[in-house]
Amino acid sequence: MHKVTLIKGDGIGPSIMDEAVKVINASGANIQWEEAYAGLAAFEKFGTPLPDETLASFDETRLAFKGPLTTVVGTGFRSINVALRQQYELYANVRPAKTWPGIKTRFDNVDIVIVRENTEGLYAGLEHYLTPKKDIAESLAVVTRSASERIIDYAFKYARDNGRKKVTVCHKANILKYTQGLFLDIARETAVRYPDIQFDEKIIDAACMHMVMNPQQFDVIVCTNMFGDILSDLTAGLVGGLGLIPGANIGADAALFEAVHGSAPDIAGKNLANPLAVIMAGIMMLDYLGETAAAAKIKTAVDKVVNEGIFVTKDINPESNCGTIEMGNAIVEAMK
Ligand SMILES: NC(=O)c1ccc[n+]([C@@H]2O[C@H](COP(=O)([O-])OP(=O)(O)OC[C@H]3O[C@@H](n4cnc5c(N)ncnc54)[C@H](O)[C@@H]3O)[C@@H](O)[C@H]2O)c1
């Protein structure tokens, strides 16, 4: 029995997480859910977006399955997502984006995994105004040798363990010679230890151009925090949108699985949200737990439903009348 802290989140969160939990429970995986709160839902209930009860649950389970959180603006709280990643040292953010034959996109055969450093860089939280008038602000990017070695080694090891051929480091070392230069140097050093994996390096702006012209040349990409954040939305766009992309946040002794997208307040409460990203995150979580049979069972069912294109949400097939709940039901049905 695996105990998992379940945070349904805000906006579309509860509706897509209900479908994901339904699908995971129907897969035969041995999960015991422990519900906890974070984000706006927690702020409204407990007066804080990250209650002690939630941290206590995560401390015990070391595993969380989380819906998107609305960032509470103007309360002095930083992003809860960033806080959780830093507190539990969930240093590797893994975001796979792969085309589905049944979803029409500009390119076929895109299969890219972004491995993003998740604890430092420009998201280290070192940001302030320099003047009382608040007309000059600065953010400091922190890049350490230890965190860079850890994430770059993770990317190469991920490539090797998952039958991938190439790792591309995307950087801006031509301008940011120290922070990005250090990251690039470490990527070059690490590549030598993985002679079986092809190594490539691309300056981030050129990488964006290459990605929208010839995305098939990319396999595993490793980069610092903010570049990974931006590039992973780009890869989402290449394969059909934000509703499809899962994200794993992996640390040495804890992990958190979620969608890449946010709480989508524009479509919340309308049964329109695509539950696929969190269901795919659930598959990653089951693989992480060694529940590989359950993970494979869900993936087969998801492929069937998505490629048939009937019981899918409107972001995948605008002609469809199917909503979040109907799509979840169809995936459960396809597993039978
Ligand atoms: N991991 C997280 O918890 C996370 C990530 C990103 C943003 N956020 C937060 O979410 C809130 C809203 O952010 P935003 O509007 O910039 O980004 P968003 O990802 O919520 O929405 C962007 C667009 O994508 C659409 N979309 C997103 N998920 C979808 C789904 N599953 N199915 C169909 N369409 C979907 C939305 O309708 C919207 O048009 C903000 O408070 C932001 O801070 C949270």
pLDDT digits (tens, 9 = 90+) for 143-198: 999 999 999 999 999 999 999 999 999 999 999 999 999 999 999 999 999 999 99
- From first CA to last CA, the distance across the chain in angstroms is 22
- For ligand 1, the distance from its centroid to the CA atom of residue 132, given in whole angstroms, is 34
Phi, psi of 96 (to 5 degrees): -85, 140
| Continuous H helices in 99-254 | 145-161, 179-192, 204-213, 225-239
Interatomic CA distance for residues 125 and 218, integer angstroms: 30
- Which amino acid residue places its CA nearest to atom 7 of ligand 1? 262
What residue has token string 């709940």?
325
- Is 64 in a helix, a strand, or coil? strand
The answer to whether the beta carbons of residues 58 and 5 sit under 8 Å apart is yes
State the angle between helix axes of 225-239 and 204-213 in degrees (0 to 180), rounded to the nearest 10.
10
Q: Angle CA(273)–CA(276)–CA(277) in degrees, nearest 5?
A: 95
Residue of 261, 325, 327 best suited for mutating to test ligand 1, as the one with most atoms within 8 Å of CB: 261
- 205: its two tokens: 């702006």
Binned at pLDDT 50, 70 and 90, residue 275 comes out as very high
pLDDT of residue 182: 98
pLDDT digits (tens, 9 = 90+) for 70-104: 886 655 566 788 788 888 999 999 999 999 998 98
According to DSSP, the β-strands at 166-171 and 220-223 are parallel
- What is 106-239's CATH number? 3.40.718.10
pLDDT of residue 73: 67
The one catalytic residue in 52, 59, 108, 205 is 205
Interatomic CA distance for residues 321 and 317, integer angstroms: 9
Ligand 1 within 6 A of 202 CB? no
Ligand 1 within 6 A of 267 CB? yes
Mind giving me the DSSP string for 5-23? EEE--STTHHHHHHHHHHH
What are the sequence ranges of the domains in the chain?
1-90+243-336, 106-239
Interatomic CA distance for residues 307 and 15, integer angstroms: 23
Domain covering 1-90+243-336, topology: Isopropylmalate Dehydrogenase (3.40.718)
Interatomic CA distance for residues 201 and 327, integer angstroms: 40
Interatomic CA distance for residues 79 and 122, integer angstroms: 14
- 318: its two tokens: 């605008």
Q: Region 262-270: what's the mean pLDDT?
A: 94
The answer to whether the beta carbons of residues 261 and 243 sit under 8 Å apart is yes
Ligand 1 within 6 A of 70 CB? yes
pLDDT digits (tens, 9 = 90+) for 287-321: 999 999 999 999 999 999 999 999 999 999 999 99
The answer to whether the beta carbons of residues 49 and 38 sit under 8 Å apart is yes
pLDDT digits (tens, 9 = 90+) for 185-212: 999 999 999 999 999 999 999 999 999 9
